[in-house]
Amino acid sequence: MTKQKNKSWVAYLVLACIALIAIAYAYQPAWFNSFMPSQQVVNQPTPQPTIAAGTVSVTKPIKIVANDELAGGVLDGTTSAIKLYANDGHTLLETLSLSSGSVTSANSYPSNTQLWIEYYYDTTIDAYNFWHMTVPQMTPADAESLTSNTIAVSTREAGAYTDSLMTSGGLTFTDGSVFNQTAAANQTGTMTYNLYTTSDNTGYPQFFDPIYQIDVKPVVWATLSGGSYTSISLTGFDGSFEKGTTMYYYKVMAPNDVSKQKVGNMYTIAGVGAVTFGFDASGWSNATAATYTTLQMYLEIYSSPTYMDNHGTYGPYVFVGAEQTVLFEDI
């Protein structure tokens, strides 16, 4: 009789444990999950865009307002183009003409649509920029009263430059100067390439280009070519590579290195950039003008070292802001 009671008690205990496990599995409290193997969640729905409180989604034409980042107000000019691309950065949706700082698209675009916006100002100025933007939502009042949905962008008005090149020994070159290496003091040292933005509240931006998939920046380039150019070396640049019969050195600049901003009577951006680099021509000698080595310095706006290395041009929108040439001689 005692044995039968014990068996019944054990059976009840087993059933109770099974019931507890079933309840725990059904509700899965945190302590229970810690004992269970992790499971990968599959086929999750794509997250939907979050609608900001107090706004609604709309489908309207978009009004692009282009602001001047340095001078304030909208961008000048009536010959600027705005291009709208799909989120892939390649599919052109429409081309528009900017007038007095704004333009409205011909097509309508739903809120939360991802677009690339390209800005281009004519070939005499060569101003570019790209922005990856989301079509915004609108307040109910604006959605009811306005016929377009506004997207604001900002960029810099194109600048102009002068430059200078000088050595640590006190020599200042003019474009096309001859640098005589006969004197030992001229065979090694440093040079400084200075850039001066000539107009207030002008300059150039940097941006990612979705069409060519590159970062586009202002870059100072130094090239060595002609008569035994490999016997002269430059140091202090971000990198270098050889293509054909030319050695290329590059230094990436910041937008403020090629920009100038004046607020009231104060310059908040000085409008001066500089690259200092070392040179060593101690192992180089050439006796005739036909075999001189040429050093050229360039400020290339919208440049990309990757693009230059792959395609042989400084960038997809080649624009020289300034240039200096020096000939090495040893006579």
Portions of the chain given CATH number 2.60.40.10: 59-155
Q: Are 211 and 90 in contact (CB under 8 A)?
A: yes
Residue carrying structure tokens 């075999």: 291
Q: Are 202 and 210 in contact (CB under 8 A)?
A: no
- Average of per-residue pLDDT across 115-136: 88
Could you tell me which CATH number the domain at 161-329 has? 2.60.40
Predicted local confidence at residue 41, as pLDDT = 37
Read off the pLDDT band of 153 (50, 70, 90).
very high
- Average of per-residue pLDDT across 231-256: 95
Count of all residues that appear for the chain in the document: 331
Name residues whose C-beta falls within 8 Å of residue 282's C-beta, 6 or more positions apart in sequence.
187, 188
To the nearest whole percent, how much of the chain has pLDDT over 70? 79
Decide if domain 59-155 falls under CATH 2.60.40.10.
yes
Name residues whose C-beta falls within 8 Å of residue 161's C-beta, 6 or more positions apart in sequence.
195, 196, 197, 198, 258, 299, 321, 322
pTM here is 0.80
d(CA 44, CA 79): 48
More confident residue, 43 or 9: 9
Rounded-to-10 torsion of CA 144, 148, 151, 152:
-100
Residue carrying structure tokens 């691309």: 85
Reply yes or no on whether the pLDDT at 196 is more than 90: yes
Residue-wise pLDDT tens digits, 85-122 = 999 999 999 999 988 889 999 999 999 999 999 998 87
Read off the pLDDT band of 34 (50, 70, 90).
very low
Q: Classify burial at 175, counting beta carbons within 10 Å of its beta carbon; exposed 0-12, middle 13-18, buried 19 or more.
A: middle
Residue-wise pLDDT tens digits, 39-94 = 333 343 444 455 677 899 999 999 999 999 999 998 866 668 899 999 999 999 99
Q: What is the torsional sign of CA 51, 55, 61, 66? A: negative
HSE toward the beta carbon, residue 175, CA cutoff 13 A:
7
Residue-wise pLDDT tens digits, 245-274 = 999 999 999 999 999 999 999 999 999 999
